[in-house]
A and B are shown apart, each in its own frame.
Chain A
């Protein structure tokens, strides 16, 4: 089953998982995970428009279209929050559904045009990593490598910017530009992953590995490595499992893998997992009871 192409697919999925795990951790700590979800859904109209204009499904062209509408959606969310009484959750819900609705309408139009129904654009909704062409995988891999590199370079700056933006600005960090850069990379991560993972579930690759990794450590460096590992593992497993059966989409399998890792972390992680926490609580109580007993003697 592990043919030459599937090997390429696996490498791509692992790199994508690492990139999403790293970038997702920053977005998660910034409490911007849902913005990623909106950005992912907003990629759909961009893909359809790019296809309608250029009448071809070369990945770079579709990625460009996706990036434009994704970035536009993020900008709109920020604009709505900044210029109205709407809170972020309402703005995100609004933008996500409007962009996705437009995307579905456009996709229907694409599917009704001559070559449209063979265009394979439908695969972008749930993702199909196993059928990706090698040239597309080269795009995916180089884009993922770029994201990984940026996350390593700006680790220190993003850490401070997210933890204490006021202080960051005070010592002269270009906080606004750093924030835009992080958002742009989130959009790039999404755009990179949509063909393999699909629009609807792409945000899971940003959120779940990061959320799972948080249970394992209180140290950002370790959380990033753990999240990257979880992302890579779910990416790889999702790709392999979905290649076993035609018609099985990659996105849902990746989400199931990531969710399993999350559940394991939630219960069994030694630092912040549920079991370890309740054991610590119990030990604390027992210590106190013992103390009180000696006090009463």
Chain B
């Protein structure tokens, strides 16, 4: 079974084409990295798959079904800067938001929902911060809370937009451990990632993207210099690698 199937997906913002004729078929149970240079349309791809964009054409199937807003098979971790961290709420409350789809409109979260949320916080090593207001968390802690919220969705397929950006080393290790755990449980995970240094260690499947798909498949077949040069453009690629070397040291 395919976790994700995309046929002829194109997206345009106003007149500018961001994604052109994207076709993908990715089997269940993979940890997939979505890799590409800045402006390649990585976040756009996720948003289009999740039905968040009006200007798109093409068909998307998740677990062989078109995405239905009522089913809870898809979990989502947006970019950390997509929300206002000064919003008055605490860590546990944000994780509990992952349960809202299961709870339903107007109804209140049950004790079981709260228990699940607490367990998910524990999973990311944040249980002692449950009552902490989100504005007082560090970047890495905020990212873990977002991850815990996605775990609380108890989904089959997960999409994560740049979860490793601006986080500390400990958080990066926690996140990758959880991703591998999800994979071990047979879930499918898609992660937008831009650090080429770590990409081949983290993911067993890769989508190389630059407005259109350069390559998609098992890491050992797709993560080749030729493909990367094509996605990044020869010169850009080496500059990027030099840059990421710098930030790593």
Do the two chains belong together in a single complex? yes
Hey, which bits of chain A sit against chain B, CB under 8 A? Answer: 29, 153-154, 156-157, 159-160, 162-164, 166-173, 214, 217-220, 223
Q: List 9 A-B contacts (CB under 8 A).
A: A29-B87, A153-B106, A157-B100, A160-B97, A163-B84, A163-B87, A164-B78, A167-B97, A220-B88
User: What residues of chain A lie closer than 8 Å to B87, measured between beta carbons?
Assistant: 29, 162-163, 220
Tell me the complex Cα distance, A218–B83, Å. 16
Given the interface pairs A167-B97, A171-B100, the reply to whether A219 lies near B78 with Cβ below 8 Å is no
Stretch from B26-34, B66-74, B191-199, B227-235 that touches the partner:
B66-74
Tell me the complex Cα distance, A154–B108, Å. 10
Is B218's CB within 8 Å of the partner chain A?
A: no
Tell me the complex Cα distance, A29–B84, Å. 10
Which residues of B175-230 have CB atoms within 8 Å of chain A's CB atoms? none
User: What residues of chain A lie closer than 8 Å to B47, measured between beta carbons?
Assistant: 166
Which residues of B49-76 have CB atoms within 8 Å of chain A's CB atoms? 50-52, 69-72, 74, 76
User: What residues of chain B lie closer than 8 Å to A170, measured between beta carbons?
Assistant: 50, 52, 74, 76
Is B90's CB within 8 Å of the partner chain A?
A: yes
A interface: dominant SS:
helix
Given the interface pairs A164-B83, A166-B82, the reply to whether A171 lies near B88 with Cβ below 8 Å is no
B100 touches A156 (CB 8 A): yes
B100 touches A160 (CB 8 A): yes
User: What residues of chain B lie closer than 8 Å to A154, measured between beta carbons?
Assistant: 106
Nearest CB in chain B: distance from A120 CB, A: 40
Q: When the two chains form the complex, which single residue of B71, B89, B98 contacts A219, counting CB atoms closer than 8 Å?
A: B89
Query: What 6 pairs between A and B have smallest CB-CB spacing?
Result: A218-B133, A171-B101, A172-B69, A170-B76, A163-B87, A220-B88
Is B169's CB within 8 Å of the partner chain A?
A: no
Is B142's CB within 8 Å of the partner chain A?
A: no
Is B44's CB within 8 Å of the partner chain A?
A: no
A166 touches B106 (CB 8 A): no
Tell me the complex Cα distance, A214–B74, Å. 34
Is B153's CB within 8 Å of the partner chain A?
A: yes
User: What residues of chain B lie closer than 8 Å to A166, measured between beta carbons?
Assistant: 47, 52, 76, 78, 82
